[in-house]
Amino acid sequence: MPLADQVSALLRAVAAQVVLPRFRALASHEVTTKTAGEIVTVVDREAELRLHDGLAAIGLGARIIGEEAAEQDPALLDGAGEGLVWLIDPLDGTANFASGREPFGMMIALVEDGVPIEGWMLDPLSGRLCQAARGKGATVDGAPVRARPTGAARPRAALGTHFLARDRRERVHAEAELHLDIVPVPRCAAASYPRLALGEDDIALFQRILPWDHAAGALFLSEAGGRITHWDRSSYRVGGAGIGVLAAASEDLWEQAATVLLGPDAGLIELECPAS
């Protein structure tokens, strides 16, 4: 069975057996706080173990880094941009899931020397599967997809600024609102990237870029014809020195967004200065 099909089948099996049975059925003791403002559920941990074992059984010999394992042992991220690496986000949008609301998703990426080469994003509720392979394009449920703008009068932008300090967040939004139509963020990268490709959003901005959150989506968007870079305009890379990411459904939309969000008035580029 081709690699893409093996990983797809693995995701769907874990979604059916671990994730969906617990949606809106979590007991209070199955949700705990792992860091300030961040929760984890028994589903995150069980799904990651199942996905880890399934990927190991495929036999590529790649390192496997899962979100929850890295939370317990941050050293797992050392050298994440070197060699062949599987990245697992077993339940993206955990807060949504634990609250009994959508969206949430599951993501796996295969990365070689920091460059995503294969990616999968599954929406367990709808069954929608977004896939991409480097140089081979992107698909949704097996059908090729090309990113398309919303066509709105002003570009629709979802700004993931909730991890910024309040004064910086207010500065970014004040500048953005002069030029863009600000829309709510889904708090789920597995939903954010498909929205850019499927004509629902035009622009997405993220400050925090944990690799399991973005590798699959970055590849999917790029292969669909969109553009994603770090804030310094360098190519997206796992394990690199880049800060944040700016993503858009097209090159033109990315340029519009960069003029607004990466210009001096928004202040984001100041975060790249060690003295800031």
Binding positions: 67, 89, 91-92, 213
Check whether the bond before 21 is cis (ω within 30° of 0): no
The closest alpha carbon to 40, from 89, 81, 110, 73, belongs to 89
The closest alpha carbon to 223, from 93, 128, 115, belongs to 115
Separation of alpha carbons 20 and 22, rounded Å = 5
Q: What element of type H or E holds 193?
A: helix 189-197
**DSSP code at position 202:** S
Q: How many other C-beta atoms are found inside a 10 Å radius of the C-beta of residue 17?
A: 12
Residues annotated in a binding site for Mg(2+): 67, 89, 91-92, 213
Structure token digits, residue 150: 């919303």
The closest alpha carbon to 14, from 102, 76, 87, 107, belongs to 107
Q: Which long-range contacts (CB under 8 A, 24 or more apart) does 24-27 make?
A: 24/100, 26/98
Q: What element of type H or E holds 140?
A: strand 137-140
Separation of alpha carbons 35 and 107, rounded Å = 21
Q: What angle do CA 82, 83, 84 make, to 5 degrees?
A: 125
**DSSP code at position 154:** S
Structure token digits, residue 9: 């089948």
